[in-house]
A and B are shown apart, each in its own frame.
Chain A
Amino acid sequence: MKKKKSGAVWMILPLYIFTIIFVAGPLLYMVALSFAQPKAGHGVEWIFTLENYKKILDPVYMQTFTGSFKLALTSTLFICLIGYPFGYFMAKLSDKWKKRAMIFLMLPFWVNSLIRLYGWMIILQTKGLLNHALKSLGLIDKPLRILYSYPAIVIGMTYVLLPFMILSVYSSAEKLDWSLVEAARDLGAKPFKAFWTVSFKLTLPGLLSGVILTFVPSMGLFFIADILGGNKIVLVGSLIQEQMTRGSNWPFAAALAVVLMILTTLMIMLYRKITNAKELEGVG
């Protein structure tokens, strides 16, 4: 079947060429760029330097990294708190309701994320729905300034990334053998104890992979901070964008991207490890 082979080579050739030029190429160029010296304008001087990486260690920029990290952590925490019970409860639904819940969950997922964030803008603004509601309930006198603040960004991040967590927890809770929980109860465990020792332990891989699935993108979603945070909070994503456009320091932007990329890759590797462990657990 020699002919079949040569046919296959022609078939993957476009993919090979395209991938190497437009995926591998830019990424390698980014790495090279991160070791070059910036010049006025968009210029780059091809002289090897570690300055760009050293610059990241500068307190001003380190703050951006730690700030992004903190925001990602905070958002991830909220996502866990809201998403874990959701995924867990969803897995306990009857098959019919499971299917319905899944459709309802996926539908907003498909709606342009900008539209959904815009909806939050309308709700959160000073004269918006939330303040209106709180006021008429008599909970507040003066409208809260939520939009263009840190909480608004956290709300936006949580909102956009929540489905990833839910799906991850759901898929691991769905495989859970409920008879184990019943067995624990049967052996005398109180409901919470039974949950903690059996269900939680067995759904932990789902929770962890959900954490990574939400933590990684939350480092880079600069437009959420931009729309809901009103440019006040600078994240790594925003910093990269700024350095690429106004700052015109491409090598520095590249160095930032390389570091972000390394963090992401580490996270993905961790994720792979966890999902592999999950599979092993399934076998055992």
Chain B
Amino acid sequence: MFIKLTTVDLSLAAILVVLLGVLSAYMKLGIAKQLYIAALRTTVQLLLIGLVLKNIFESTQPLFVLLICLVMISVAGWEILSRQKRKLKGWWGFGVSAGSLFVSSFSITVLCLFSVIQADPWYSPQYAIPLLGMLLGNTMTGIALGMDRLTQTAWQQRPVIEQRLMLGESADKAISDIRSEAMRAGMIPIINSMAAAGLVSLPGMMTGQILAGAEPVEAVKYQILIMFMISAGTGFGVISVLWLISKRLFDDRERLCFKRLLKQSGN
């Protein structure tokens, strides 16, 4: 049994988004434009990928799969960057975010495909791409939050950081509190969803598998695997990003170096 959605159904949901945008504009919360762009993007992007997903899944070319993965990572890296109020200047910003996604999400996906799922061939796109996608989608959020918190708090607490430097603390020590706060900010979403799974929320992938006729226990096992991968991916990703950025915020004489940050408007 599969209930098909009509255009009217989707329009109803779209009206809610429009209302939210109107309310935000009325209250001058400044999120309307970003919200509309994101809603439009999700519609167009999902429609397009829906059309070609079948063809992609049928491909067995490893290079083609790799290429798609790299595109996904680059886009995720770019999205992280455009959520930042202050980002690292030049290629550093993209390098740090895409690099950490590569280290965390990509390597964990490969490890999981290779040793746990063991499809034939192991890079089969119908496993590799959704898996990487779920990981990227979640780690991306964590990394974007952690990064934004770090640069914003460091910017606002400049006098405190410099005070700690004056007291002879190393750069690493002087920013340590801000870094652990940023780590917490980045990890809250995944910790929340692990804690609430099954009690508050029924994760989408698992529910989908069960509805499609899979054995519930098997579906649950997959979901647990995904949850662990996401938390590990987010954790390693956020840690590497915070480490790299907090290094980059100081020069070789342990002085704050905010000229390496660029303020972005529209965030």
User: A and B, one complex?
Assistant: no
Give residues in A with beta carbon < 8 Å to B.
none
